[in-house]
Structure 1
Amino acid sequence: METCQVTVLQTSDIHGNLFPFNYGLQKEMNSGLGKLASLIKDEQMIASNCLLIDNGDMIQGTPLTYHYAKFLADTEHPAITLMNSLHYDAAILGNHEFNFGLDLLTNVVSQSNFPWLSANIVMTDGTPFVGKPYFIKELPNKLRVVILGVTTHYIPNWEDPNHIEGLRFQDAFETVNNWLDFIKENETYDLLIVSYHGGLERDPVTGKETELFTGENQGYLMCTELEGIDVLLTGHQHRALTAEINGVTVVQPSYNGQALGKVTIDFAKDKGKWSIIQKTAELIHVTEKTETDQALLNLVQSYEQQTQQWLAQPIGRITFDMEIRNPFEVRLKDHPLIEFINKVQMDAAGANISSTALFDNHSRGFPQEITMRDIVSNYIYPNTLKVIEIKGQDIKDALEQSATYFSLNEKQEIIINPHFVEPKPQHYNYDMWEGIEYELNISKPVGERVVQLNYMALPIQMDQTFEVVMNNYRAGGGGNFPMFKDKRVVKEIQIDMTELIANYILKRKTIHATCDGNWKVTK
């Protein structure tokens, strides 16, 4: 009996981490596509039948990719240079692929020597945005593999509408269901892979819900409700996992290039037809022993050099203290960095009320001498701003939602609600406000934690109208803030926040760190 083996390699959520380098901490890291490349090439040398697929969120996320988008977008994207060299078979559109607009994304797709897939992101006439919902790779032994690409359809809840104009985002689950029927009726194949830039909404072992079911992640539903999927490649949640769900082999390889997903499928041929006899999934982690593929990175070294020069540019000075030593404490009471970012937003928008977040726990605040590196290390997303008109009730509801970030442990100490840490850290979904005075009491029941809420020293009335500036992600309701969705937009500021912060500092030269203590979290 004739047998063969097919190896599927998966990267996902690289987020522009091409070099094994943390730009904020300025130190080498055991991550990045340059490290993964060594693992990929090792596997490609061993496997006689090997597919390499990226599952999305490749072209955004580091100062390198930001600098490219702002200053070098008329050249080939450095990530695409590396992916072409590594001979990727396909890539899936992730939600962050849209962060720099359709012009840049369209250029990236045209530069690629491989197809980009997403069956559920379509033009207004229903045709796929990138041209292909799926593709078939026929191996030398005539074994045929289908790769169907699909993307979380939650993107309109986050993305700047100008970046997705003319596109429709169809339900990912329903799209996979429809295309499975089409493929079964119209194609001959031996292995069907769904590569989904989305994750699992339930625990893969117990089936217990791990998040509010919004439709953002539908991987578990796909495995349990649809027939015909052999392998489900997932991402978006930044989880490191392998699983077998209802006979479907599932893998998700972490983020930032920390691990390579690998699925091995063994086949046997009987009466002229290939059949699957075994599937195994594993994660190959980058370690301190993993070599960097320096020859590969040399292809884009000039991009890195220009980025480092740009990051070293001096911007201005800080007097007093705007550094972060404990990110948890920053979220318990007003901090000079948060107050400063809110002031920048208020200045740019001409608004009296602002909200922002400390996006992750790696932010270090601003030292006394500020460079561009400090700015992009603390404000890591290419957000723009919107001023929306909301009611006092919306402000209270938003604060109550932010208050769910906290809970109390057995000792009645304030801790982070585990839902904001697992399965994916969501520190960016806790907002802190300027222009109002408020107190959140975590000992109170959820929904009743706002115990003080004033504007200009007077209690806010629920039917009062306010104009508030916030980032475009939050203004669209992203992060489970539906009270902001579809509100009247008073003003849009289309300069991204990194530029706004830099321009604010350059204009003033010296920034005085202040903290008016307008809010606090208590128990």
Structure 2
Amino acid sequence: MRSPVSTPLNPALSRRSVLTGALVGGTLALGALPAEASSGKTYRLTVIGTADLHSNVLNWDYFKNADYADKAGNKIGLAQAATLIRAVRDERGTENTITLDAGDTIQGTPLAYYFAKIQPAVGGAVHPMAAAMNAVGYDAVTLGNHEFNYGIPLLRSWESQLDFPLLGANVHDHATSEHAFKPFVIKKVLTNNGTVRVGLVGFVTPGCAIWDRANVEGRLDFNGIVEEAKAVIPQMHAAGADVVVVSCHSGMVPGSSYGDALPFPENASQQLAEEVPGIDAILVGHAHSEIPQRFVTNKATGKQVLLSEPKYWGMRVTVMDLDLQKVSGTWTVSSASAALLDAKTAAPDAAVVRAVDAAHQRVVQYVNQVIGTSTAPLKTATGCWEDVAAIDAINYIQAHTIKGELAGTPAAGLPVLSIAAAFSRGVDVPAGPLTVRDVAGLYIYDNTLLSIKVTGAQVKDYLEWSAQYYRTVTTTTVAAADLTNAVTALAPSGTPDYNYDVVFGLDAPLTYTIDVAQPVGSRIVGLSYGGAPIDPAQEFAMAINNYRQSGGGNFPHVKTAPVLTNSQQEIRQRIIDYVTQTGVLDASLFAHVDWSLTANGAPLTVV
């Protein structure tokens, strides 16, 4: 299944031009990689990598019903990436290349949701991500944490449809402690000077145990990446691996969004390179970062380990060159380099497009169904610093749903609160007809809905934690970029928008202001419920998503709070169901200003 590549790679460019392009531009256009044939007792192995595809196959935005577009002019999707992959293979020789993916594959778009929940790809139905990846011809793919979002049966069905192994060395069967997925494979590569045995191993962030507890608890256990690697890497060398390439779904920068909730870090790729001898290169995923090339020194051997991360959604493709030398009958890596190819320089691969076209058309038809109307526009552009109807709508429907689920239970009398965040600042739904894609765009993740019991004091703590999202500001006018996404110990690259939660009251208003001039932990002012200062001892039922309740963002109290309901139903689908059943999203029921920002007590204007 090889499709023609219209723009060949340029063999005349020097190795120096590859490194210069990677370091200066961050990515390289198609036509920038050199080709070097093996000669004597040397050999070049090329490892091609993708990561965090999140079920993006075509350059298509299902929420906008149009080609994907962003300010940087990026293109997305495995079809774009596949053209780059095939071009590298054509130049280097397919037999001299290995193609890997670093996980988060079967979740992230309406395409993924449709084939998980609307028409599940089980019982013989082919998952579009299996069809697309088989068309590319990967050598292996690694588990990502989002692989577990839809439950183990769907994951196993997808795995069974792949023409290559699904790796997860640090995932163990809870009952037997055996590896639950293939830990590694050794691929034999034939050269002019004998066979090179290339070990491919995959690791996934242990945060799966928290984020998908409902799907994995009592069934799968997740060991630390470094801890598992210290056992597995020697096993690979003992099994004959000359070269070891790791596909690691764990970010480069150390740290964990879940704090100390687990004894193992979320992001361990750098630590893996530093602490485990015997690794030659690491394809990094999970953090959605763009890292063309980075070297980390192994503390035990002094060896430089090559790492590279190809952004996300197929926007980039990693190309790692490992130059091998055979000495006394043993192959070793003598030098290494990496660069990124940019998907916007390529046309979509015809074979991949054909593999998913029917599935894509079915999903497009599904998401464009009109299911109701909205009485007001729903926008999130300013939702990170002011109370907007779009976030209120999510909170209202979550709280309304939980109110119904609590009926007839001992907790039925508890007043209901709800939390939600602006997952995207790009939601812009006009008043009028609502389609499935409009509603899905409000809630882009596949989180499920729970309710927990909290006290007024715990609500105050929760809001104080959320308010660390803001930088300290003492003026009364501030630019948004100087206000939001504050750097914290848990978020060294800045607190993401999805970790700023708004708390909403269903039965009575929950109102408060956030004074961003005050130190973190002392910012919530005038917290009231039903017009009176909140009683620290009062108990509430709080609607919350599974990511947050299981530790995502490390918010206080929620991991240990009593769970009142847990239907394990996706919040997105709950919103779709509500609009379908009522026929209208009536803003008069939920859209009111309950919180605002101040600086030293004066209203804050964000420009």
User: For residues 213 and 283 of structure 1, do their structure 2 counterparts lie closer, same or farther at Cα, with a shift above 3 Å needed?
Assistant: farther
What secondary structure, in the 3-state scheme, does the structure 2 residue paired with 1:157 have?
helix
Distance 1:459 1:102 in 2: 45
Please give the residue correspondences for 1:56-67 in structure 2 after superposition, counting only pairs within 5 Å: 56-67=103-114
Range with bigger deviation, 417-426 or 115-124:
417-426
The one-letter amino acid paired with 1:300 is V
Range with bigger deviation, 254-263 or 150-159:
150-159
Residues 1:305 and 2:361 are matched in the alignment: yes
Residue 81 (structure 2) aligns with: 36
Identity %: 31
Residues 1:522 and 2:598 are matched in the alignment: yes
Shift of 1:210: 10
The one-letter amino acid paired with 1:143 is V
**1:445-489, Cα deviation, whole Å (9 max, x unpaired):** 011111121122222233332211111111112112142112211
User: For residues 181 and 410 of structure 1, do their structure 2 counterparts lie closer, same or farther at Cα, with a shift above 3 Å needed?
Assistant: farther
What secondary structure, in the 3-state scheme, does the structure 2 residue paired with 1:416 have?
coil
Query: Given the alignment, which residue of 261, 266, 285 partners 2:318?
Result: 261
Residue 167 (structure 2) aligns with: 117
Distance 1:152 1:171 in 2: 8
- The runs of 5 or more residues in structure 1 that have no matched partner are 203-208
Distance 2:326 2:148 in 1: 43
Range with bigger deviation, 112-121 or 315-324:
315-324
CA RMSD between the two structures: 2.0
Query: Given the alignment, which residue of 57, 63, 66 partners 1:27?
Result: 66
Distance 1:271 1:160 in 2: 50
The one-letter amino acid paired with 2:115 is Y
The one-letter amino acid paired with 1:489 is V
The one-letter amino acid paired with 1:60 is Q
Query: Given the alignment, which residue of 146, 159, 164 partners 2:212?
Result: 159
Shift of 1:418: 4.2
Range with bigger deviation, 453-462 or 353-362:
453-462
What secondary structure, in the 3-state scheme, does the structure 1 residue paired with 2:356 have?
helix
Residues 1:419 and 2:498 are matched in the alignment: no
Residues 1:140 and 2:187 are matched in the alignment: no
Distance 1:333 1:521 in 2: 7
What secondary structure, in the 3-state scheme, does the structure 1 residue paired with 2:53 have?
coil
Residues 1:128 and 2:173 are matched in the alignment: no
The one-letter amino acid paired with 1:110 is S
Larger radius of gyration between Structure 1 and Structure 2: 2
User: For residues 200 and 391 of structure 1, do their structure 2 counterparts lie closer, same or farther at Cα, with a shift above 3 Å needed?
Assistant: same
The one-letter amino acid paired with 1:401 is W
What secondary structure, in the 3-state scheme, does the structure 1 residue paired with 2:221 have?
strand
Query: Given the alignment, which residue of 57, 68, 71 partners 2:115?
Result: 68
Distance 2:184 2:321 in 1: 21
Residues 1:380 and 2:444 are matched in the alignment: yes
Query: Given the alignment, which residue of 109, 113, 134 partners 1:84?
Result: 134
Check conservation: 2:258, 2:552, Cα contact below 8 A.
no
The one-letter amino acid paired with 2:524 is V
Query: Given the alignment, which residue of 395, 401, 405 partners 2:465?
Result: 401
Please give the residue correspondences for 1:234-383 in structure 2 after superposition, counting only pairs within 5 Å: 234-241=284-291, 242-246=293-297, 247-287=304-344, 289-324=345-380, 326=381, 329-350=382-403, 352-365=416-429, 367-383=431-447
Residue 551 (structure 2) aligns with: 477
**1:157-184, Cα deviation, whole Å (9 max, x unpaired):** 2225135541111111211122123334
Shift of 1:263: 0.6
The one-letter amino acid paired with 1:173 is V
Residue 513 (structure 2) aligns with: 439
**1:57-93, Cα deviation, whole Å (9 max, x unpaired):** 0111111111111233231111111111211111110
Distance 1:502 1:320 in 2: 17
Distance 1:452 1:399 in 2: 12
Residue 563 (structure 2) aligns with: 489
Q: Give the alignment's TM-score, normalised by structure 1.
A: 0.93
Distance 2:402 2:188 in 1: 55
Residue 205 (structure 1) aligns with: none
User: For residues 377 and 163 of structure 1, do their structure 2 counterparts lie closer, same or farther at Cα, with a shift above 3 Å needed?
Assistant: farther
The one-letter amino acid paired with 2:78 is L
What secondary structure, in the 3-state scheme, does the structure 2 residue paired with 1:417 have?
coil
Residue 55 (structure 2) aligns with: 16
Residues 1:227 and 2:277 are matched in the alignment: yes
Distance 1:285 1:176 in 2: 31
Check conservation: 1:364, 1:378, Cα contact below 8 A.
no
Shift of 1:422: 6.9
What secondary structure, in the 3-state scheme, does the structure 1 residue paired with 2:597 have?
strand
The one-letter amino acid paired with 2:358 is S
Distance 1:239 1:410 in 2: 32
Distance 1:395 1:410 in 2: 25
Shift of 1:213: 6.5
Shift of 1:260: 0.3
What secondary structure, in the 3-state scheme, does the structure 2 residue paired with 1:381 have?
coil
Shift of 1:331: 2.1
Distance 1:418 1:263 in 2: 34
What secondary structure, in the 3-state scheme, does the structure 2 residue paired with 1:183 have?
helix
The one-letter amino acid paired with 1:404 is Q
Distance 1:434 1:482 in 2: 17
Residue 301 (structure 2) aligns with: none
User: For residues 403 and 490 of structure 1, do their structure 2 counterparts lie closer, same or farther at Cα, with a shift above 3 Å needed?
Assistant: same
User: For residues 212 and 490 of structure 1, do their structure 2 counterparts lie closer, same or farther at Cα, with a shift above 3 Å needed?
Assistant: closer
What secondary structure, in the 3-state scheme, does the structure 2 residue paired with 1:330 have?
coil
The one-letter amino acid paired with 1:360 is S
Distance 2:180 2:139 in 1: 19
Q: Give the alignment's TM-score, normalised by structure 2.
A: 0.81
What secondary structure, in the 3-state scheme, does the structure 1 residue paired with 2:117 have?
helix
Shift of 1:385: 0.8
The one-letter amino acid paired with 1:281 is A
Distance 1:504 1:372 in 2: 12
User: For residues 254 and 511 of structure 1, do their structure 2 counterparts lie closer, same or farther at Cα, with a shift above 3 Å needed?
Assistant: same
Shift of 1:404: 1.0
- The runs of 5 or more residues in structure 2 that have no matched partner are 1-39, 69-74, 298-303, 404-414, 600-607
Check conservation: 1:392, 1:465, Cα contact below 8 A.
yes
Q: How many residues align?
A: 511
The one-letter amino acid paired with 2:369 is Q
